[in-house]
Structure 1
Amino acid sequence: MSGLGDRLTDGAYALGWSTVKKLPEPVAARLGRTIADLAWKRRGKGVQRLESNYARVVPDATPERLAELSRAGMRSYLRYWMESFRLPAWSAERVRTGFDPKDVHNLTEALASGRGVILALPHLGNWDLAGAWVTTKLETPFTTVAERLKPESLYDRFVAYREGLGMEVLPHSGGTAFGTLARRLRDGGLVCLVSDRDLSASGVEVEFFGEATRMPAGPALLAQQTGALLLPVTLWYDDSPVMQGRVHPPIEVPETGTRAEKASVMTQALADAFATGIADHPEDWHMLQRLWLKDLDPQKAPENPDGSRNAGDTQQDPEKGTS
């Protein structure tokens, strides 16, 4: 059954990239909204987890408000997928006009410095579109990291998709990604990493919307080791076909402290920048997985109806391919 499930998953993504990209844009948008509304009405685990996460972001929200947010969140999530399936067919002009980042001077000035630049993003909006805009509008290639997915053919599809948008994609496993990223940065290159969820033992504990979670140490450690500039980026949608975004000012490396202490301070600053963007546009934060440590700890997690407790997520998340 596992092999059959893998083939079905791979086939579903293959169908998306082969079929959705051929649809007129308004038709693809309507299809995305329809799928999102159907998923929202089913109230599956992903929708329930999305609502639970939004309750942290908007703590005074009523149940009705949380339901509105989760419906909007699912529509935003499916907009991400419809855009991603269609991106390989977009013209260069459509890519250039499809994203309107604010304070982009923070990025262009950082690139001009020659020090290397790390862009760190949360699961907001469409980071693939933002990446395509960088390679197309700014004509700047960059390197990112993708988690190895199962089946292997699905991982290969995601790599081919992102490479087709002008990205260099490194596998997360194998222990070589950090060294390659460091070399790219020392050469004055650009690295982009989705960085709002790291449930491994190496993650840095931060306070996020008033509670503890872990985020990757990689962006801060790379900045320390290479002298590269670390810039948070937040993204969001409005009612237009154009995605919005903001490039935040660089996060400085502290002058004192151990390597780990500096990484902790910098990762907390990154979490704070992410929180501002998520608080302003919670419906565009596509976090359908457990995030906060309280939800992951079997002793602290809420009980299920049968009295058992969830120790954490085991589902694969192909969307987080640049973590």
Structure 2
Amino acid sequence: MSTAERLAGTLYGVGWSTVKKLPEPVAVRLGRTIADLAWKQRGKGVRRLEANYARVVPDAGPERLAELSRAGMRSYLRYWMESFRLPAWSPERVTAGFAAKDLHHLTDALAAGQGVILALPHLANWDLAGAWVTTALRTPFTTVAERLKPESLYDRFVAYREGLGMEVLPHSGGSAFGTLARRLRDGGLVCLVADRDLSSSGVEVDFFGDRARMPAGPALLAQQTGALLLPVTLWYDDSPVMKGRVHPPVEVLVSGTRAEKTSVMTQALADAFASGIAEHPADWHMLQRLWIADLDPAKGPA
């Protein structure tokens, strides 16, 4: 284990053990202070965030991009402060912490016994949205987590999400897809963060005018199981309540090859994600390379 990995594990451990004990106003101020310090240092993550925002808001000049990246870091740290504190929130606090538009797309399908896939980008706090589903809707669901290093950090994330009522499967290992398909065929709910491909089998999509790769899993699962595929976008505003929208279902095509169907459906997901990101760009926490043209290390910060 590298020194950086040990440090990451230690810092996250301190966050979960300490931040959840702070009064909420103190945690909010702490998150904003950390965000501003990180933004001023302009490390690789901040520079990549700003470069990504330049694609989302192509007419933004340097001053506007700087404002966006600062707001983006504050949003990102709000996500972390909330996530560190979520295990200590009461059911009433979780239920009051999120409000969703067009929720009927989800609740009607679940009431009919149909499996549902919720696909989200890295907007606002997807963990809070998940905790709200298990708490307010009393609906458990299955998700997939990227294997993090050190292993202790991955184990901590799994325990954290399981404590919020989620079944968590590892992204690597090859068995996640089959388990997700079984849950969906049984009328269950699956939630997947799906705006960044973590494999070598991503689907190319047009995203803010350039090519990117997004995971094929949501579209393939919908095709194979008959589950409803629903894009979801989230955002923060000036209130303590996070907002969200459940978009209309992505249609499963009746003709074409599996690859053709998957391509069209994944593009529809990308379009729904783009609509939410364009409305609330500062809440998109994409501090990594996403577009194919940016994957060349010679092109700039990671």
Category of TM-score, reference length = shorter chain: over 0.9
The equivalent of 2:62 in structure 1 is: 63
Whether contact under 8 Å (1:199, 1:214) holds in the other structure is no
Distance in 2, Cα, partners of 1:108 & 1:199: 30
The equivalent of 1:276 in structure 2 is: 275
Report the 3-state secondary structure (helix = DSSP H, G, I; strand = E; otherwise coil) of the residue aligned with 1:100: strand
TM superposition shift of 1:6: 2.1
Distance in 2, Cα, partners of 1:5 & 1:61: 35
Matches within 5 A, 1:136-151: 136-151=135-150
Matches within 5 A, 1:6-85: 6-85=5-84
The residue type equivalent to 1:270 in the other structure is L
Distance in 2, Cα, partners of 1:195 & 1:113: 25
Q: Deviations over 1:68-100 (max 9, x none)?
A: 000000000000000000000000000000000
Larger displacement relative to structure 2 (199-208 or 21-30): 199-208
Gaps of 5+ in 1: 305-309, 314-323
Distance in 2, Cα, partners of 1:243 & 1:199: 27
Q: What is the percent sequence identity of the aligned residues?
A: 83
The equivalent of 2:201 in structure 1 is: 202
Distance in 2, Cα, partners of 1:287 & 1:211: 16
Distance in 1, Cα, partners of 2:35 & 2:239: 18
Report the 3-state secondary structure (helix = DSSP H, G, I; strand = E; otherwise coil) of the residue aligned with 2:159: helix
The equivalent of 1:165 in structure 2 is: 164
Q: Deviations over 1:152-199 (max 9, x none)?
A: 111100000000000000011110000000000000000000000005
The residue type equivalent to 2:7 in the other structure is L
TM superposition shift of 1:106: 0.9
The equivalent of 1:183 in structure 2 is: 182
Report the 3-state secondary structure (helix = DSSP H, G, I; strand = E; otherwise coil) of the residue aligned with 1:40: helix
Q: Deviations over 1:271-306 (max 9, x none)?
A: 0000000000000000000110001146xx53x6xx
The equivalent of 1:218 in structure 2 is: 217
Whether contact under 8 Å (1:171, 1:177) holds in the other structure is yes
TM superposition shift of 1:262: 0.2
Q: Deviations over 1:126-176 (max 9, x none)?
A: 000000000000000000001111111111000000000000000111100
Whether contact under 8 Å (1:116, 1:188) holds in the other structure is yes
Report the 3-state secondary structure (helix = DSSP H, G, I; strand = E; otherwise coil) of the residue aligned with 2:2: helix
The equivalent of 2:116 in structure 1 is: 117
Relative to the length of structure 2, the TM-score reads: 0.98
RMSD (Å), alpha carbons: 1.1
Distance in 1, Cα, partners of 2:124 & 2:114: 28
Distance in 2, Cα, partners of 1:205 & 1:4: 36
Distance in 2, Cα, partners of 1:112 & 1:222: 20
The equivalent of 1:317 in structure 2 is: none
Report the 3-state secondary structure (helix = DSSP H, G, I; strand = E; otherwise coil) of the residue aligned with 1:257: coil
The equivalent of 1:108 in structure 2 is: 107
TM superposition shift of 1:32: 0.2
TM superposition shift of 1:115: 1.9
Matches within 5 A, 1:219-238: 219-238=218-237
Whether contact under 8 Å (1:97, 1:242) holds in the other structure is yes
Report the 3-state secondary structure (helix = DSSP H, G, I; strand = E; otherwise coil) of the residue aligned with 2:129: helix
Distance in 1, Cα, partners of 2:119 & 2:198: 17
Distance in 2, Cα, partners of 1:8 & 1:63: 33
TM superposition shift of 1:255: 1.4
Distance in 2, Cα, partners of 1:199 & 1:87: 26
Report the 3-state secondary structure (helix = DSSP H, G, I; strand = E; otherwise coil) of the residue aligned with 2:156: helix
Distance in 1, Cα, partners of 2:198 & 2:51: 18
Report the 3-state secondary structure (helix = DSSP H, G, I; strand = E; otherwise coil) of the residue aligned with 1:144: strand
Number of residue pairs matched by the alignment = 302
Matches within 5 A, 1:299-318: 302=299, 313=302
Larger displacement relative to structure 2 (38-47 or 199-208): 199-208
The change in CA–CA distance for 1:199 and 1:181 in structure 2 (over 3 A counts) is closer
TM superposition shift of 1:3: 3.2
TM superposition shift of 1:113: 2.3
Whether contact under 8 Å (1:51, 1:69) holds in the other structure is yes
Distance in 1, Cα, partners of 2:288 & 2:190: 25
The residue type equivalent to 2:107 in the other structure is T
Runs of 4 or more, structure 1, over 4 Å off, are: none
